[in-house]
Amino acid sequence: MSSKPNNIVILISGAGSNMAAIVRAAQEQDWQGAFGARIAAVISNRPHAAGLQVAQAMGVITGVLDHQSFDSREAFDTALMQQIDSYQPALVVLAGFMRILTPGFVQHYAGRLINIHPSLLPAFPGLHTHQRAIDAGCAEAGCTVHQVTAELDHGPLLAQAAVPVLPGDSADTLAARVQAQEHLLYPQAIHDWLRAAA
């Protein structure tokens, strides 16, 4: 067992299905015993994010920081950093956290901030990735876990999973196929990160 406490803080904005997959993997694979790692908190920028109740039901501490209560992006990110840093995290995991982060935030967590994006980066950074993959006639779509850098959806790639784009796919059917892979890929990528850091 590692003697280093490897606190992980997960940031969400919505359903939290990736967060739940990560928490489940941490519990089932005993990341605490293997790496001294625990999911210290799940924090949402939306007070009514469904993922908050999911996290609580799984026994994880939750926090809310409503971005609408702040006058500027910088003020929100500064407060968010304070909340995150109260857990002294080794790793900050963006899991459907739908906020553009300030350069100061990204710099503060350089090397310990990761994201999952629903495309095969570098293809389709930004929004509406599934419809754009369909419209472009791609034979494959997928998801990417990457380090977060100042440029949106452009950090070094850590892991990818591909799925076929099938005839008749809508953005929703393709998203469901990609999300099933996200739920495998993201916990695996974090497990690999913890093993490498141990």
Instruction: Name the residues that contact ligand GAR, by CB under 6 A.
Output: 12, 14-19, 51, 95-96, 116-118, 143, 179, 182
**Closer residue to ligand GAR (CB): 6 or 18:** 18
CA distance 188 to 134: 27
> What is the DSSP secondary structure assignment for residue 138, as one 8-state letter?
-
**Closer residue to ligand GAR (CB): 175 or 197:** 175
CA distance 189 to 19: 13
Rg value, the chain, Cα? 16
Q: Is 117 a catalytic residue?
A: yes
Shortest-Cβ-distance residue relative to ligand GAR: 96
Measured from the CB of residue 159, what is the shortest distance to ligand GAR in angstroms?
13
Give Cα 17 distance to the centre of its chain: 10
CA distance 160 to 122: 11
Measured from the CB of residue 2, what is the shortest distance to ligand GAR in angstroms?
27
Measured from the CB of residue 1, what is the shortest distance to ligand GAR in angstroms?
29
Place of tokens 């754009």: 132
Residue type, 110: A
Measured from the CB of residue 51, what is the shortest distance to ligand GAR in angstroms?
6
**Closer residue to ligand GAR (CB): 7 or 179:** 179
Q: DSSP 3-state assignment of 60?
A: coil
Phi and psi at 109, nearest 5°, equal -110, 20
**Closer residue to ligand GAR (CB): 180 or 197:** 180
Q: DSSP 3-state assignment of 17?
A: helix
Catalytic residue from among 67, 117, 128, 191: 117
Annotated catalytic sites, by residue? 117
